[in-house]
Amino acid sequence: MTPYFKYCLGVLSILLLSPLHLCSQTEILLNDTKELQDIGLQTYYLEDASLDLSIEEILSDRINNNFTANSQETINFSSTASAYWLKFKIRKTTSDNFYLNVGSAYIDAISLYEFDATNQLVSTRHTGDDLPFDTREIKVGNYLFTLDFDKNITRTFYLRVKSDQPLFFPLRVGTLSNFAAYEHDLDFLQGIYFGFMLLIFLYNLFLYFSIRERIYLYYIAYVFSITWFMASVFGYFFEYFWPNAPFLNQLVVVSSGLTMITATLFTQQFLDTKKSGSRLHKGSMIFLVWGFLVCALVVVGYKIEGLKLAQAGLLLMAFYFLILGIRFKLKGFRPAIYYLFAWGALIVGICFAILESLNLTFVMTYLNAMQIGSALEVLLLSFALGDRINMYKKQKEDAQLEALISAKENERLIKEQNIILEQKVKERTAEVASQNEALIHLNKEKDMLVDMVAHDLRTPLHQMKGIIWLLDIPAMELTEDQAMYLNEINNSVDRLTDMVGRILNTHALESNQVKLKNELIDLVALADDMTRRFLLTAKDKDIHIVVKAKEGSHVAELDKNYMIQVLENLLSNAIKFSEKGGKIQLHVYSEDNKAFMVVEDNGPGISEEDQKKLFGRFQRLSAQPTAGESSIGLGLSIVKKYVEAMQGEIHCESQLGVGTKFIMSFEAK
């Protein structure tokens, strides 16, 4: 046999025999008191998909021979609904006290069975998130079990683990001082992380109460949901907040759904996706629904399915929001640069955490990748929010500066316009003053003309009236037509004389030439006198005039002549507009130191539109005299002026088809 052949045969023998040699070393020696010892590669595992295997069945040859050697240092069974059994042997070579560490606080159920060399059960220990916190031998977040047996004694352990969360953990042995040092380092780094998250939470909560912008509320809810998940992973919430309520640990995955919901709401508000594009906004709404679905699955008991859905949703959401950030950065939205880096950090953390849970990469010792990624993300998002505030502040300042410049420009324009307007007002005022002087001159000429015409007309009218009286028409032998013509001439002269009188009265009122001669007048007596004056006129239309006076004295200080003219106008109008056989009433009464006279008829009434112009000059109303009597529209305007000149008041109450009331009131004496 050649030397080369001997060398190859030796190498081949080593390669073939090495695995057998490794598999044969099943005992874990406890001899190092200075360092923690990982024992994952020295264990065997068995999957219990039925969840029903008991320790007795595990000890049977049929089941026990199915254990498989573990091939990696960290125990990692990924996300699974199965329970797993681990088998390993431990022998002490020193008399120091050692502990077994299941290095995860995120396991629902743990059972540790200890057997001696004769395969007799020595102890059974049960703990986990499904049991109260005080079931743990050592009150720490991770699980520590005492290895309380003598030196040079070998014990066999069966460890059953079950979790609805990713099932991976380091399995180590060491002394209490080793674990205290490890926990010290772990708590230090975890304290930095949770202290940082608490600082971010409180800072942005303060900003929310100061600014009252909804985006900060979404952000602090997002930070809380991430912190809740991480604190639950390391067992801090269970240890310090609900140690006697383990059922709350079953809801930890709900925080993943809340993270998706709050992150989506924050992104929609931060990037204003609703205004920027309905398609982008609708796309983000998918993750809102996704988050609610994760929460619903966990609440109804499908925790594994909810966890897997949350892992996929968080990864897809992070990539989608990263794409959104790129889109908005390209559009010129400055804070999007921080947003991009933030989601990039979270994506790296999520990807590494998912790979870790899928047993595709190593497991980090003190911090997990999600913590590092989430810490960087919330820090960068805080920067993004701050930059967003600064950007809007700058925009506001620019807008205020632009508004100030515009205001100054407007002020300058207003001053120029005011100067122009003042000049035009002066010119217009001078023009109006000139026109007023001309109008005053014309008004004086009009007054003179009215006086001249009215006085000049009275003379021939009186002469015509006198000539007609001298004719003694009843004694003349005239034909029927001639008598009718002469009577019509007489009536026309009377109407013309009355018209001239009214014009002169109106002119006197407008030029303040009315001089009152007031005296105490008994209104009842005046009403009786006016009724007698109109008896013949009313009789021609078969109209009945009555006076209705309340008992007592009804006296007012008035100008009798003007009061007679007022009543003549009102009564003549009542007769004109009343049908044959109608009724006119004069009411006299006193109330609250006021004396009242009311002229009431049961004519056709006056419409609301006509009542608005009732007391105007030369106003013709829609209602017409029932017998074709003439009217020039001056009567009621003169009535109102006379009444007001005597310090009285007059108003009308009328209803179509019912009648009309003219109500006058004066101060009673």
Residue from 567, 577, 568 nearest 543 by CA: 577
CB atoms near residue 197 (< 10 Å): 21
pLDDT of residue 140: 85
Q: Rounded to an integer, what distance in angstroms lies between the CA atom of residue 335 and that of residue 210?
A: 21
Secondary element (H or E) of residue 435: helix 369-471
Token pair for residue 602?
A: 């049961």
Arithmetic mean of pLDDT over the chain: 80
Task: Give the up-direction half-sphere exposure of residue 509: CA atoms within 13 A in the CB hemisphere.
Answer: 20
Taking the C-alpha atoms of residue 376 and residue 382, their distance in angstroms, rounded to an integer, is 10
| Half-sphere exposure (Cβ direction) of 39: Cα atoms closer than 13 Å | 30
Interstrand relation of 83-92 and 27-30 (parallel, antiparallel or unpaired): parallel
Distance of CA 382 to the CA centre of its chain: 26
pLDDT at 345: 74
Supply 66's token pair: 């199915």
The predicted model gives 48-74 an average pLDDT of 90
What is the predicted pLDDT for the residue at 458?
61
Winning range, highest mean pLDDT, from 37-46, 203-212, 629-638: 37-46
324-354 as b/e: b if 16+ CB within 10 A: bbebbbeeebebbbbbbbbbbbbbbbbbbbb
Which ranges constitute the DSSP H helices of 273-368?
273-276, 278-299, 303-330, 336-357
With a CB cutoff of 8 Å and minimum separation 6, the contacts of 630 are 495
Instruction: Extract the tokens encoding 355.
Output: 């790979």
Measured distance CA(258)–CA(235) in Å, rounded: 19
pLDDT at 656 over 60: yes
* pLDDT average, residue stretch 486-511: 66
Q: DSSP character for 579?
A: P
Share of the chain above pLDDT 90, in %: 20
Beta bridge partners of 546: 585
- Mean of pLDDT values over 432-446: 75
Question: What mean pLDDT do residues 195-207 have?
Answer: 86
Name the residue type at position 468.
Answer: I
The three-class DSSP label of residue 587 is: strand
- Beta-carbon contacts of residue 166 (< 8 Å; ≥ 6 apart): 78, 79, 106, 307, 356, 357
Q: Which helix H or strand E contains 641, and what residues bound it?
A: helix 635-645
Q: How many angstroms separate the Cα of 502 from the Cα of each of 20, 216, 243, 452, 568? A: 142, 83, 108, 15, 12
pLDDT of residue 7: 33
62-71: long-range contacts, CB 8 A cutoff, minimum separation 24: 68/44, 69/23, 69/43, 69/44, 70/40, 70/41, 70/42, 70/43, 70/44, 70/45, 71/41
Q: What count of residues does the chain have?
A: 669
Residue 512: pLDDT band (50, 70, 90) is: low
Does residue 45 have a pLDDT over 90? yes
Max avg pLDDT among 59-63, 329-333, 391-395: 59-63
- How many angstroms separate the Cα of 656 from the Cα of each of 571, 607, 610? 19, 6, 11
Residues paired with residue 37 on neighbouring β-strands, in sequence order: 173
Write the DSSP symbol of residue 169: E
Per-residue pLDDT, 16: 37
As a whole number, mean pLDDT of residues 611-618 equals 74
Per-residue model confidence (pLDDT) at position 18: 35
**Are 558 and 519 contacting, i.e. CB atoms less than 8 angstroms apart?**
yes
What's the pTM value of the predicted model, to 2 decimals? 0.52
Place 354 in a pLDDT band, splitting at 50, 70 and 90.
Answer: low
pLDDT band at 13 (very low <50, low <70, confident <90, very high): very low
Tens digits of residue pLDDT in 289-308 = 999 999 999 888 888 788 88
Q: How far apart are CA 89 and CA 384, in angstroms?
A: 54
Distance CA 241, CA 244 (A): 9
Tens of pLDDT, residues 588-602: 999 988 999 999 998
Q: Could you tell me which of 603, 549, 597 has the C-alpha nearest to residue 572?
A: 603
> Which of 588, 497, 586, 583 lies closest to 551, judged by CA?
588
Of all residues in the chain, what percent carry a pLDDT higher than 70?
81
Q: What is the pLDDT of residue 10?
A: 37
